[in-house]
Amino acid sequence: MSGFTEPDPWHGPSSDPNDEQIGDIVHGTTVDAAGAYDTVFVGEPYDGAVIGRTGAREGPAAVRDALAATKTHHFAEGPLGPIGDVGDVDTDWTRTVSEVQHAVETTVEPLHDAGVLPVFLGGDNSLTVPNVAPLLSGDSVGVVSLDAHLDCREIREGPTSGTPYRQLFDRGLDSLVVLGARHFETSTRYHDYLDGQGGRIHSAASVGADPAGAAATALEELSAVDTVYVSLDADVLDAATAPGVSAPTPGGLTGRELFAVLGRLAVDDRVAGFEVVECAPSLDRDGRTVTVAARAIAHFLAHRGGGQ
């Protein structure tokens, strides 16, 4: 039986009463009460499906800490409003990847039904499957994946962090657009597979040249779908910006480019979920990856409408 752990209390660490931080505006809640918020955080401390280096199971706690110390004010969009936190998915993370995916899907499905925007704090990329799957029972669904990789590998001995979009296409995903993919990080066969599914790929170079324009193009390429899900794998960032990921590589996006992409995606009213995955604090340097992941969430929510 799965559910959620009770979330720890949030606190903004600043001693200045005028210095509002995200830790001051996040409140613990439950699935039943989540409808009081536009946005709720969900922790998923799991990295049992990682192909490369592990450590993403520590992501939810570290990203929450970094968010708590992040100020609420965006110059153009104003301050963030109240946000809920339902805690971490509480399940037996030692089971097989397939069993974990099923348990997480069952646990998070009520959040999609609650009319809130779930923001999933991962965790590895295999959890994209249960995070998106509940949406597939309704209208047509497309995903914007910000990732250095395509993550549509064949499933051999079982699912991995490299198979989520193969699994989702098998379950009825309508479309996928990948932003920030790196040359020499995928095989021709998987490129051809995604092309055959009607997916679109935009390299890191093309996204970096016009971040907001690339995001607008991605949304236009998903114009036929009713629901959009946004997945941020931290390895879409350049290794110098985000060393604390499973598979860091050069040539990725800068933090500023990422924020511009997310700002444009967030304003689309079809967006029904957002996740940050593959942030591994134990592999990080000077907190760079955790900090940029937290700021990415803040930028997304600011353009979304402040969280409330």
User: Is residue 19 in some structural domain?
Assistant: no
| 18 within some domain | no
Question: What are the pLDDT digits (tens) for 176-220?
Answer: 999 999 999 999 999 999 999 999 999 999 999 999 999 999 999
The answer as to whether 4 is a domain residue is no
pLDDT in tens, 127-139: 999 999 999 998 8
What is the rounded average pLDDT of the residues 85-102? Answer: 98
Domain assignment of residue 127, yes or no: yes
Is 126 in contact with 160 (CB distance < 8 Å)?
yes
The C-alpha angle 242, 285, 67, rounded to 5 degrees, equals 70
Residue 1 domain-assigned (yes or no): no
Please give the pLDDT value at position 138: 83
pLDDT, averaged across the chain: 96
Give the list of residues 6+ apart from residue 44 with CB closer than 8 angstroms, or none. Answer: 60, 88, 89, 104, 120, 121, 122, 123, 127, 131
Give the tokens for residue 211: 């971040």
Residue 64 has φ and ψ, to the nearest 5°, of: -60, -45
Count of structural domains within the chain: 1
Q: Is the pLDDT of residue 1 over 80?
A: no
pLDDT tens per residue, range 105-119: 999 999 999 999 999
Q: What is the CATH classification number for the domain harbouring 265?
A: 3.40.800.10
pTM over 0.95: yes
Q: 266: part of which helix (H) or strand (E)?
A: helix 255-266
pLDDT recorded at residue 52: 86
pLDDT, mean of residues 39-65 = 97
- Containing structural domain, residue 134: 29-304
Is 205 a domain residue?
yes
What amino acid is encoded at 57 in this protein? R
Q: pLDDT confidence of 306, banded at 50, 70, 90? A: low
- Whether 15 maps to a domain, the answer reads no
Over range 251-257, report the average pLDDT: 98
Cβ–Cβ < 8 Å for 54, 126:
no
Asked whether residue 126 is domain-assigned, the answer is: yes
**Could you tell me if residue 198 is left (phi over 0), alpha (psi between -120 and 50 degrees) or otherwise beta?**
left
Q: Which residue has the higher pLDDT, 139 or 124?
A: 124
Q: What is the mean pLDDT of residues 53-58?
A: 97
pLDDT the model gives residue 101: 98
Identify the pLDDT of residue 305.
81
148, 51 in Cβ contact below 8 A?
no
